[in-house]
Structure 1
Protein backbone atom coordinates (compact mmCIF):
# COMPACT_ATOMS: atom_id res chain seq x y z
CA UNK A 1 0.00 0.00 0.00
CA UNK A 2 1.44 3.41 -0.94
CA UNK A 3 1.96 6.35 1.42
CA UNK A 4 -1.23 8.10 0.32
CA UNK A 5 -3.45 5.06 0.86
CA UNK A 6 -1.90 4.37 4.26
CA UNK A 7 -2.47 7.93 5.44
CA UNK A 8 -6.06 7.96 4.19
CA UNK A 9 -6.76 4.71 6.01
CA UNK A 10 -5.17 6.13 9.16
CA UNK A 11 -7.33 9.26 8.95
CA UNK A 12 -10.53 7.28 8.51
CA UNK A 13 -9.89 4.96 11.45
CA UNK A 14 -8.35 6.96 14.29
CA UNK A 15 -8.32 10.59 13.07
CA UNK A 16 -11.90 11.67 12.35
CA UNK A 17 -10.91 15.31 12.85
CA UNK A 18 -9.51 18.10 10.71
CA UNK A 19 -5.85 17.48 9.85
CA UNK A 20 -5.01 21.13 10.60
CA UNK A 21 -7.03 22.25 13.63
CA UNK A 22 -8.53 19.08 15.11
CA UNK A 23 -12.17 20.10 14.81
CA UNK A 24 -14.75 17.89 13.10
CA UNK A 25 -13.86 17.56 9.45
CA UNK A 26 -16.00 17.47 6.33
CA UNK A 27 -17.13 13.89 5.70
CA UNK A 28 -14.69 12.15 3.38
CA UNK A 29 -12.35 15.15 3.38
CA UNK A 30 -9.26 15.83 5.55
CA UNK A 31 -10.18 19.37 6.65
CA UNK A 32 -12.98 21.24 8.35
CA UNK A 33 -14.87 23.95 6.46
CA UNK A 34 -12.98 26.81 8.11
CA UNK A 35 -9.51 25.43 7.33
CA UNK A 36 -10.54 24.58 3.77
CA UNK A 37 -11.75 28.12 3.12
CA UNK A 38 -8.67 29.68 4.74
CA UNK A 39 -6.21 28.00 2.34
CA UNK A 40 -4.60 30.14 -0.40
CA UNK A 41 -6.42 28.48 -3.31
CA UNK A 42 -5.18 29.78 -6.66
CA UNK A 43 -7.82 32.01 -8.22
CA UNK A 44 -8.44 32.03 -12.01
CA UNK A 45 -7.09 35.56 -12.35
CA UNK A 46 -3.85 34.47 -10.64
CA UNK A 47 -3.23 31.60 -13.08
CA UNK A 48 -1.13 33.75 -15.41
CA UNK A 49 0.80 32.14 -18.29
CA UNK A 50 4.36 31.11 -17.52
CA UNK A 51 6.93 32.40 -19.97
CA UNK A 52 7.77 29.72 -22.52
CA UNK A 53 5.60 27.10 -20.81
CA UNK A 54 2.53 25.23 -22.04
CA UNK A 55 -0.75 25.51 -20.15
CA UNK A 56 -0.41 25.34 -16.38
CA UNK A 57 -2.66 24.39 -13.49
CA UNK A 58 -1.93 24.78 -9.78
CA UNK A 59 -4.00 24.28 -6.68
CA UNK A 60 -2.49 26.95 -4.44
CA UNK A 61 -0.55 30.17 -4.28
CA UNK A 62 2.82 29.44 -2.69
CA UNK A 63 2.27 31.10 0.68
CA UNK A 64 1.54 30.01 4.25
CA UNK A 65 0.34 27.54 5.35
CA UNK A 66 0.96 25.63 2.09
CA UNK A 67 4.56 26.86 1.80
CA UNK A 68 5.22 25.80 5.39
CA UNK A 69 3.73 22.36 4.77
CA UNK A 70 5.79 21.81 1.62
CA UNK A 71 9.03 22.84 3.31
CA UNK A 72 8.23 20.78 6.38
CA UNK A 73 7.57 17.70 4.28
CA UNK A 74 10.57 18.16 2.00
CA UNK A 75 13.26 19.01 4.53
CA UNK A 76 11.77 17.70 7.74
CA UNK A 77 10.46 14.45 6.23
CA UNK A 78 7.05 15.12 7.74
CA UNK A 79 5.43 12.33 5.74
CA UNK A 80 2.31 12.33 7.89
CA UNK A 81 1.03 15.40 6.06
CA UNK A 82 2.16 14.40 2.57
CA UNK A 83 -0.94 12.45 1.55
CA UNK A 84 -3.24 15.11 3.02
CA UNK A 85 -1.55 17.76 0.88
CA UNK A 86 -1.81 15.49 -2.14
CA UNK A 87 -5.54 15.14 -1.60
CA UNK A 88 -5.92 18.90 -1.25
CA UNK A 89 -3.93 19.40 -4.44
CA UNK A 90 -6.30 17.12 -6.31
CA UNK A 91 -9.24 19.08 -4.88
CA UNK A 92 -7.79 22.27 -6.35
CA UNK A 93 -6.73 20.96 -9.75
CA UNK A 94 -9.53 18.60 -10.80
CA UNK A 95 -12.25 21.28 -11.19
CA UNK A 96 -9.95 23.22 -13.53
CA UNK A 97 -9.47 20.39 -16.01
CA UNK A 98 -10.85 20.80 -19.51
CA UNK A 99 -9.44 17.51 -20.78
CA UNK A 100 -7.92 14.59 -18.89
CA UNK A 101 -4.33 13.86 -19.97
CA UNK A 102 -3.13 10.38 -20.86
CA UNK A 103 -0.61 10.26 -18.02
CA UNK A 104 1.13 12.30 -15.31
CA UNK A 105 4.91 12.70 -15.20
CA UNK A 106 6.15 13.72 -11.73
CA UNK A 107 9.37 15.72 -11.96
CA UNK A 108 12.10 13.14 -11.23
CA UNK A 109 14.81 13.54 -8.60
CA UNK A 110 18.45 12.66 -9.13
CA UNK A 111 19.27 9.32 -7.48
CA UNK A 112 21.59 10.95 -4.95
CA UNK A 113 18.91 13.36 -3.77
CA UNK A 114 16.25 10.63 -3.79
CA UNK A 115 18.47 8.44 -1.64
CA UNK A 116 19.12 11.28 0.79
CA UNK A 117 15.49 12.38 1.05
CA UNK A 118 13.93 8.92 0.83
CA UNK A 119 11.01 9.91 -1.39
CA UNK A 120 10.07 12.05 -4.39
CA UNK A 121 7.70 14.72 -3.14
CA UNK A 122 6.30 15.45 -6.60
CA UNK A 123 5.49 11.76 -7.12
CA UNK A 124 3.72 11.38 -3.79
CA UNK A 125 1.70 14.57 -4.24
CA UNK A 126 0.59 13.43 -7.70
CA UNK A 127 -0.70 10.03 -6.54
CA UNK A 128 -4.22 11.17 -5.55
CA UNK A 129 -4.61 12.97 -8.89
CA UNK A 130 -3.61 9.93 -10.89
CA UNK A 131 -5.85 7.69 -8.81
CA UNK A 132 -8.92 9.90 -9.16
CA UNK A 133 -8.37 10.39 -12.89
CA UNK A 134 -7.56 6.72 -13.50
CA UNK A 135 -4.36 7.48 -15.44
CA UNK A 136 -0.79 6.21 -14.97
CA UNK A 137 2.10 7.91 -13.22
CA UNK A 138 5.25 7.84 -15.36
CA UNK A 139 8.14 7.05 -13.03
CA UNK A 140 10.62 5.44 -15.44
CA UNK A 141 10.11 7.34 -18.67
CA UNK A 142 12.55 10.14 -17.80
CA UNK A 143 15.42 10.22 -15.31
CA UNK A 144 17.38 13.11 -13.89
CA UNK A 145 20.97 12.29 -14.82
CA UNK A 146 22.55 15.54 -13.62
CA UNK A 147 22.84 16.42 -9.94
CA UNK A 148 21.73 20.02 -10.25
CA UNK A 149 21.99 22.71 -7.61
CA UNK A 150 18.79 23.44 -5.65
CA UNK A 151 16.70 25.78 -7.78
CA UNK A 152 15.80 27.89 -4.75
CA UNK A 153 19.41 29.06 -4.51
CA UNK A 154 19.54 30.43 -8.07
CA UNK A 155 18.11 33.34 -10.02
CA UNK A 156 15.96 32.83 -13.13
CA UNK A 157 18.87 32.77 -15.60
CA UNK A 158 20.93 30.46 -13.42
CA UNK A 159 17.96 28.11 -13.00
CA UNK A 160 17.63 27.62 -16.75
CA UNK A 161 21.37 26.97 -17.19
CA UNK A 162 21.38 24.66 -14.18
CA UNK A 163 18.83 22.38 -15.84
CA UNK A 164 20.36 22.12 -19.30
CA UNK A 165 20.68 18.44 -20.25
CA UNK A 166 19.60 17.47 -16.74
CA UNK A 167 16.96 15.00 -17.96
CA UNK A 168 17.17 11.92 -20.16
CA UNK A 169 14.40 10.04 -21.94
CA UNK A 170 14.79 6.34 -21.12
CA UNK A 171 11.93 4.75 -23.00
CA UNK A 172 9.63 6.09 -25.73
CA UNK A 173 6.20 7.00 -24.43
CA UNK A 174 3.01 5.98 -26.24
CA UNK A 175 1.14 8.87 -24.61
CA UNK A 176 0.40 12.01 -26.60
CA UNK A 177 -0.97 14.22 -23.82
CA UNK A 178 1.08 14.39 -20.63
CA UNK A 179 0.83 16.53 -17.50
CA UNK A 180 4.16 17.29 -15.86
CA UNK A 181 3.72 17.57 -12.09
CA UNK A 182 5.97 19.47 -9.67
CA UNK A 183 5.48 20.47 -6.05
CA UNK A 184 6.13 24.18 -6.66
CA UNK A 185 6.45 26.23 -9.84
CA UNK A 186 8.47 29.42 -9.56
CA UNK A 187 10.00 30.48 -12.88
CA UNK A 188 8.94 27.34 -14.75
CA UNK A 189 12.54 26.44 -15.70
CA UNK A 190 12.22 22.79 -14.70
CA UNK A 191 8.88 22.45 -16.47
CA UNK A 192 10.24 24.03 -19.66
CA UNK A 193 13.17 21.63 -19.80
CA UNK A 194 10.97 18.56 -19.32
CA UNK A 195 8.30 19.83 -21.72
CA UNK A 196 10.89 20.45 -24.44
CA UNK A 197 12.21 16.90 -24.05
CA UNK A 198 8.74 15.37 -24.28
CA UNK A 199 7.69 17.49 -27.26
CA UNK A 200 10.90 16.61 -29.08
CA UNK A 201 10.09 12.92 -28.68
CA UNK A 202 6.58 12.61 -30.04
CA UNK A 203 4.37 13.99 -27.27
CA UNK A 204 1.84 16.34 -28.84
CA UNK A 205 0.47 18.24 -25.84
CA UNK A 206 2.09 19.01 -22.48
CA UNK A 207 0.59 20.70 -19.44
CA UNK A 208 2.33 21.83 -16.26
CA UNK A 209 0.63 21.00 -12.96
CA UNK A 210 1.78 21.79 -9.45
CA UNK A 211 0.64 21.84 -5.87
CA UNK A 212 1.54 25.53 -5.64
CA UNK A 213 3.03 28.33 -7.71
CA UNK A 214 4.76 31.56 -6.85
CA UNK A 215 2.84 34.67 -7.82
CA UNK A 216 5.25 37.50 -8.57
CA UNK A 217 4.34 41.11 -7.99
CA UNK A 218 6.36 44.14 -9.14
CA UNK A 219 7.69 44.46 -5.59
CA UNK A 220 8.83 40.82 -5.22
CA UNK A 221 10.05 40.16 -8.76
CA UNK A 222 12.98 42.60 -8.65
Structure 2
Protein backbone atom coordinates (compact mmCIF):
# COMPACT_ATOMS: atom_id res chain seq x y z
CA UNK A 1 0.00 0.00 0.00
CA UNK A 2 2.80 2.41 0.86
CA UNK A 3 4.64 1.64 -2.35
CA UNK A 4 1.74 1.93 -4.79
CA UNK A 5 1.68 4.97 -7.04
CA UNK A 6 -0.07 6.07 -10.22
CA UNK A 7 2.20 5.14 -13.11
CA UNK A 8 2.12 7.35 -16.22
CA UNK A 9 4.56 5.46 -18.45
CA UNK A 10 4.63 1.72 -19.14
CA UNK A 11 6.92 -0.70 -20.94
CA UNK A 12 5.41 -2.81 -23.77
CA UNK A 13 5.94 -6.09 -21.91
CA UNK A 14 2.72 -8.15 -22.21
CA UNK A 15 0.53 -9.07 -19.26
CA UNK A 16 -1.07 -12.55 -19.58
CA UNK A 17 -4.83 -12.86 -19.46
CA UNK A 18 -4.48 -15.32 -16.58
CA UNK A 19 -2.76 -12.64 -14.50
CA UNK A 20 -5.54 -10.13 -15.16
CA UNK A 21 -8.15 -12.72 -14.27
CA UNK A 22 -6.35 -13.44 -10.99
CA UNK A 23 -6.20 -9.71 -10.18
CA UNK A 24 -9.92 -9.34 -10.82
CA UNK A 25 -10.78 -12.46 -8.82
CA UNK A 26 -8.88 -11.09 -5.83
CA UNK A 27 -10.41 -7.62 -6.22
CA UNK A 28 -13.88 -9.14 -6.35
CA UNK A 29 -13.46 -10.05 -2.68
CA UNK A 30 -14.11 -6.36 -2.00
CA UNK A 31 -17.09 -5.76 0.29
CA UNK A 32 -20.31 -4.33 -1.10
CA UNK A 33 -23.65 -3.46 0.43
CA UNK A 34 -25.70 -6.66 0.81
CA UNK A 35 -23.05 -8.31 -1.41
CA UNK A 36 -24.61 -6.92 -4.61
CA UNK A 37 -21.17 -6.53 -6.28
CA UNK A 38 -22.18 -3.69 -8.64
CA UNK A 39 -18.90 -3.43 -10.57
CA UNK A 40 -18.43 -4.49 -14.19
CA UNK A 41 -15.12 -4.59 -16.04
CA UNK A 42 -14.29 -4.57 -19.75
CA UNK A 43 -10.70 -5.76 -20.29
CA UNK A 44 -8.85 -4.48 -23.36
CA UNK A 45 -5.63 -5.85 -24.85
CA UNK A 46 -4.13 -6.35 -28.29
CA UNK A 47 -6.26 -5.28 -31.24
CA UNK A 48 -9.25 -4.38 -29.06
CA UNK A 49 -7.15 -2.02 -26.98
CA UNK A 50 -5.57 -0.52 -30.11
CA UNK A 51 -9.00 0.12 -31.64
CA UNK A 52 -10.26 1.94 -28.55
CA UNK A 53 -7.06 3.96 -28.20
CA UNK A 54 -7.22 5.02 -31.86
CA UNK A 55 -10.83 6.19 -31.57
CA UNK A 56 -10.27 8.16 -28.37
CA UNK A 57 -7.00 9.81 -29.34
CA UNK A 58 -8.33 10.80 -32.76
CA UNK A 59 -11.37 12.43 -31.17
CA UNK A 60 -9.25 14.23 -28.59
CA UNK A 61 -6.68 15.43 -31.16
CA UNK A 62 -9.45 16.77 -33.40
CA UNK A 63 -10.79 18.86 -30.56
CA UNK A 64 -14.20 17.34 -31.11
CA UNK A 65 -16.89 18.16 -28.56
CA UNK A 66 -16.75 15.69 -25.74
CA UNK A 67 -19.68 13.84 -24.37
CA UNK A 68 -20.67 15.20 -20.98
CA UNK A 69 -19.30 13.45 -17.94
CA UNK A 70 -21.62 10.68 -16.98
CA UNK A 71 -21.31 11.85 -13.40
CA UNK A 72 -19.89 14.79 -11.47
CA UNK A 73 -16.37 13.76 -10.53
CA UNK A 74 -14.86 17.04 -9.38
CA UNK A 75 -16.39 19.79 -7.24
CA UNK A 76 -18.60 22.23 -9.11
CA UNK A 77 -16.82 25.05 -7.29
CA UNK A 78 -13.20 24.50 -6.29
CA UNK A 79 -11.94 25.66 -2.89
CA UNK A 80 -9.05 25.11 -0.51
CA UNK A 81 -7.54 22.70 0.33
CA UNK A 82 -8.67 20.63 -2.67
CA UNK A 83 -7.84 23.19 -5.33
CA UNK A 84 -4.39 23.68 -3.78
CA UNK A 85 -3.64 19.97 -3.87
CA UNK A 86 -4.85 19.66 -7.44
CA UNK A 87 -2.72 22.54 -8.64
CA UNK A 88 0.33 21.23 -6.80
CA UNK A 89 0.01 17.87 -8.53
CA UNK A 90 -0.52 19.44 -11.94
CA UNK A 91 2.49 21.73 -11.75
CA UNK A 92 4.70 19.02 -10.28
CA UNK A 93 3.90 16.77 -13.25
CA UNK A 94 4.25 19.55 -15.83
CA UNK A 95 7.50 20.64 -14.22
CA UNK A 96 9.01 17.18 -14.68
CA UNK A 97 7.83 17.16 -18.28
CA UNK A 98 9.12 20.66 -18.98
CA UNK A 99 5.65 21.97 -19.83
CA UNK A 100 5.38 25.67 -19.07
CA UNK A 101 2.30 27.56 -17.96
CA UNK A 102 0.16 28.41 -20.97
CA UNK A 103 1.69 25.75 -23.23
CA UNK A 104 -1.70 24.42 -24.26
CA UNK A 105 -0.43 22.20 -27.09
CA UNK A 106 1.85 20.19 -24.82
CA UNK A 107 -0.76 20.13 -22.05
CA UNK A 108 -3.28 18.66 -24.49
CA UNK A 109 -0.71 16.15 -25.73
CA UNK A 110 -0.05 14.99 -22.17
CA UNK A 111 -3.78 14.76 -21.47
CA UNK A 112 -4.16 12.67 -24.61
CA UNK A 113 -1.74 10.11 -23.19
CA UNK A 114 -4.51 9.16 -20.78
CA UNK A 115 -6.36 7.64 -23.72
CA UNK A 116 -3.43 5.41 -24.64
CA UNK A 117 -3.53 3.99 -21.10
CA UNK A 118 -0.05 5.59 -20.91
CA UNK A 119 1.07 2.79 -23.26
CA UNK A 120 0.16 0.02 -20.80
CA UNK A 121 -0.59 -3.24 -22.64
CA UNK A 122 -3.82 -3.82 -20.73
CA UNK A 123 -6.59 -1.33 -20.07
CA UNK A 124 -9.68 -1.86 -17.94
CA UNK A 125 -12.88 0.11 -18.38
CA UNK A 126 -14.90 -0.10 -15.17
CA UNK A 127 -18.63 0.50 -15.53
CA UNK A 128 -21.72 0.47 -13.33
CA UNK A 129 -25.41 0.15 -14.12
CA UNK A 130 -27.00 3.57 -14.43
CA UNK A 131 -29.76 2.78 -11.96
CA UNK A 132 -27.34 2.15 -9.09
CA UNK A 133 -27.22 4.75 -6.32
CA UNK A 134 -24.42 6.39 -4.34
CA UNK A 135 -23.78 3.43 -2.06
CA UNK A 136 -22.98 1.24 -5.04
CA UNK A 137 -20.52 3.85 -6.31
CA UNK A 138 -18.74 3.57 -2.97
CA UNK A 139 -18.62 -0.21 -3.49
CA UNK A 140 -17.09 0.21 -6.95
CA UNK A 141 -14.49 2.57 -5.50
CA UNK A 142 -13.47 -0.08 -2.98
CA UNK A 143 -13.25 -2.64 -5.79
CA UNK A 144 -11.02 -0.34 -7.85
CA UNK A 145 -8.70 0.07 -4.88
CA UNK A 146 -8.49 -3.70 -4.56
CA UNK A 147 -7.56 -4.00 -8.25
CA UNK A 148 -4.68 -1.57 -7.75
CA UNK A 149 -3.35 -3.42 -4.71
CA UNK A 150 -3.73 -6.88 -6.25
CA UNK A 151 -1.78 -5.77 -9.31
CA UNK A 152 0.94 -4.27 -7.11
CA UNK A 153 1.22 -7.54 -5.19
CA UNK A 154 1.86 -9.32 -8.52
CA UNK A 155 4.68 -6.99 -9.46
CA UNK A 156 2.63 -4.83 -11.81
CA UNK A 157 1.88 -1.11 -11.82
CA UNK A 158 -1.37 0.71 -12.44
CA UNK A 159 -2.99 4.07 -13.03
CA UNK A 160 -6.66 4.67 -12.23
CA UNK A 161 -8.03 7.15 -14.79
CA UNK A 162 -11.22 9.17 -14.42
CA UNK A 163 -10.58 10.80 -17.82
CA UNK A 164 -12.30 7.92 -19.62
CA UNK A 165 -15.63 8.95 -18.14
CA UNK A 166 -15.65 11.88 -20.59
CA UNK A 167 -15.94 9.47 -23.52
CA UNK A 168 -18.72 7.14 -22.48
CA UNK A 169 -20.34 7.29 -25.93
CA UNK A 170 -17.23 6.36 -27.89
CA UNK A 171 -16.34 3.62 -25.43
CA UNK A 172 -19.83 2.15 -25.69
CA UNK A 173 -19.59 2.12 -29.48
CA UNK A 174 -16.14 0.52 -29.51
CA UNK A 175 -16.57 -1.97 -26.67
CA UNK A 176 -20.23 -2.75 -27.10
CA UNK A 177 -21.53 -2.49 -23.56
CA UNK A 178 -25.25 -1.59 -23.23
CA UNK A 179 -26.67 1.88 -22.66
CA UNK A 180 -27.76 0.73 -19.22
CA UNK A 181 -24.08 0.93 -18.16
CA UNK A 182 -21.91 4.01 -17.72
CA UNK A 183 -18.18 4.43 -17.31
CA UNK A 184 -16.78 4.94 -13.82
CA UNK A 185 -13.08 5.01 -14.75
CA UNK A 186 -10.33 3.29 -16.66
CA UNK A 187 -7.32 1.48 -15.20
CA UNK A 188 -3.98 1.01 -16.95
CA UNK A 189 -2.13 -2.18 -15.97
CA UNK A 190 1.38 -3.22 -16.93
CA UNK A 191 5.06 -2.96 -16.12
CA UNK A 192 5.96 0.63 -15.31
CA UNK A 193 8.92 2.28 -17.01
CA UNK A 194 11.23 3.33 -14.14
CA UNK A 195 13.37 5.38 -16.54
CA UNK A 196 10.56 7.69 -17.62
CA UNK A 197 10.72 11.17 -16.11
CA UNK A 198 7.20 10.81 -14.66
CA UNK A 199 8.48 7.99 -12.44
CA UNK A 200 10.08 10.71 -10.31
CA UNK A 201 6.73 12.29 -9.47
CA UNK A 202 6.06 12.30 -5.74
CA UNK A 203 2.56 12.99 -4.42
CA UNK A 204 2.42 13.99 -0.75
CA UNK A 205 -0.27 12.79 1.63
CA UNK A 206 -1.84 14.54 4.57
CA UNK A 207 -0.77 13.20 7.98
CA UNK A 208 -3.41 11.27 9.87
CA UNK A 209 -4.08 14.22 12.19
CA UNK A 210 -4.93 16.28 9.13
CA UNK A 211 -8.01 14.24 8.22
CA UNK A 212 -8.97 12.15 11.26
CA UNK A 213 -10.29 12.90 14.73
CA UNK A 214 -10.11 10.51 17.68
CA UNK A 215 -12.42 10.23 20.64
CA UNK A 216 -12.58 7.92 23.61
CA UNK A 217 -8.95 6.72 23.64
CA UNK A 218 -6.93 6.91 26.80
CA UNK A 219 -4.09 9.44 26.59
Normalising by the smaller structure, the TM-score range is: under 0.3
Higher helix share: 2
Higher relative contact order (CA 8 A, sep 6+): 2
TM-score of the two chains, using structure 1 as the length reference: 0.23
TM-score, normalized by length of structure 2? 0.24
